[in-house]
Structure 1
Amino acid sequence: MAVKQNKVLNQFADFLLWVEKLKETDKDLWLKPLSTGKWSLREVLTHIMYWDKNSLEMMVPNMAEDAKLFFVDIEKHNQEAAVYAQTYNSLDTLIDDLIKTRKQLLDLLEEKYDDTTIFTIDNRNYTYKKFVHIFIHHDEHHKKQIEDFLEQEKSA
């Protein structure tokens, strides 16, 4: 993955450095809910990977000038990801799969990325930059949840 000097894609790729470090997580924590009624680390990481997979397979390949795209049903997609998470018996395997999927997505984005291309998603104008920023913020949201959880567990 040779990401050019594209700040947005580099920022999106930075998540991988952080996620790789999660392999050091105490193995008995990855199945524990981050807080009452919330997902576990396994489900959150699968959720992120599932969105990357959707972007890789359904969204980015179809991003072109004047394309009309639509996000999947978010609740249904998230529920499917939570169910799929149950197939993982190893945190390392899950992290490896997430990294592999994100790298494939980054490669495709690098290939197609053009700041001038305008398309719609759910009838709203988007550029590649705006699209990627949604997922950078999504990563940051879940990264903070996970870091807060791990910090709390450390001091418990």
Structure 2
Amino acid sequence: MVQKQKQLTACSALIDYVTKLGVYQEQVWLTPLGSDKWSIKEVIGHLIRWDHYFYETTIHPIVTNSPITMSEDDDVSTFNTSAAAWALSQSKEDLIHALTSSRKAITDALQSIPEEHYSKVYADAEGNTFTLAQFIQDIASHDQHHTAQITQAIDKA
């Protein structure tokens, strides 16, 4: 149970991080992470949309013992461009709420999965295998990558 809780804590840490970004003005949220990079707002939208995708294609199917439809054939570039554009149309408050909701859906679903299933081998739509523990670690690593970028952009702003 310790490993499962550790992973769930790492996965839910994004909620606190993004909630704390609420103190910054909208202009800070529009700060690019670097030259030719997304803004903070666009990165948050990117994280929200990936949360939805992972929940629908992988996590919910694992919980309901349904086929996993996550596919490496999906057009990631188009997906990310769409997520970034969507984020720019949202207020920072709406993005904080959406991120909290999407990540809570993931962590609640993961909480319902018995720990012994975290080491079970699953297969995506192409037959590529993974464990739930690996999958959660990948989500947390992706979060950490982007939160480090955001923190650095805010420090420079």
Report the AA paired with residue 58 of structure 1.
T
Q: Distance in 1 between matches of 2:95 and 2:66?
A: 35
Instruction: Measure how far apart 1:65 and its partner are.
Output: 9.5
Instruction: Measure how far apart 1:86 and its partner are.
Output: 2.6
Aligned alpha-carbon RMSD (Å): 2.2
Query: Are residue 120 (structure 1) and residue 123 (structure 2) matched?
Result: yes
Alignment coverage as a number of residue pairs: 149
1:44-123 alignment runs, 5 A limit: 44-63=43-62, 64=65, 69-71=70-72, 72-88=74-90, 90-113=91-114, 114-121=117-124, 122-123=126-127
Q: Distance in 2 between matches of 1:147 and 1:127?
A: 30
Instruction: Measure how far apart 1:69 and its partner are.
Output: 4.3
TM-score, normalising length from structure 2?
A: 0.84
Q: Distance in 1 between matches of 2:69 and 2:83?
A: 25
Aligned to 1:16: 15
- Stretch moving more, 53-62 or 119-128: 119-128
Report the AA paired with residue 108 of structure 1.
A
Describe the superposition over 1:94-133 as per-residue Cα deviations: whole angstroms up to 9, x where unpaired: 1111111100111112123522421123443211110111
Aligned to 1:32: 31
Q: 8 Å contact 2:61–2:67 — kept in the other structure?
A: no
Q: 8 Å contact 1:69–1:120 — kept in the other structure?
A: no
- Stretch moving more, 109-118 or 15-24: 109-118
Q: Distance in 2 between matches of 1:104 and 1:67?
A: 17
Describe the superposition over 1:24-58 as per-residue Cα deviations: whole angstroms up to 9, x where unpaired: 11321112322111111110000000000101112
Report the AA paired with residue 107 of structure 1.
D
Over the matched positions of the two proteins, sequence identity in percent amounts to 26
Describe the superposition over 1:133-152 as per-residue Cα deviations: whole angstroms up to 9, x where unpaired: 11100000000000000001
Q: Distance in 2 between matches of 1:30 and 1:107?
A: 28
Query: Are residue 145 (structure 1) and residue 146 (structure 2) matched?
Result: no
Describe the superposition over 1:64-93 as per-residue Cα deviations: whole angstroms up to 9, x where unpaired: 5996742432212111211211320x2122
